[in-house]
Amino acid sequence: MGQLLVALDVESGHRALELASTLHGVVDGVKIGSRLFTLEGPALVRRLTDEGTRVFLDLKFHDIPNTVAQAVGAAVATGAWMVNVHASGGIPMMQAAARAAAETSARLGQSRPLVIAVTVLTSMDENTLRAGGVERPLFDHVVALARMAQQAGLDGVVASPQETAAIRSACGPDFAIVTPGIRGASAGSEKNDQARTMGPAEAVKAGASYLVVGRPIIAASDPRGAAERIADEMKAGV
Distance of alpha carbon 60 from alpha carbon 142, whole angstroms: 16
Is 205 in the active site? no
For residue 172, give Cα distances in angstroms to 92, 146, 178, 201.
22, 11, 14, 20
- SS3 at position 137: coil
Q: How large is the angle between the packed helices 13-22 and 42-50, nearest 10 degrees?
A: 20
Distance of alpha carbon 143 from alpha carbon 113, whole angstroms: 23
- SS3 at position 26: coil
Distance of alpha carbon 61 from alpha carbon 65, whole angstroms: 10
Catalytic annotation, pick one of 31, 60, 191, 205: 60
87 and 145 Cβ atoms separated by less than 8 Å: yes
The residues annotated as belonging to the active site are 60
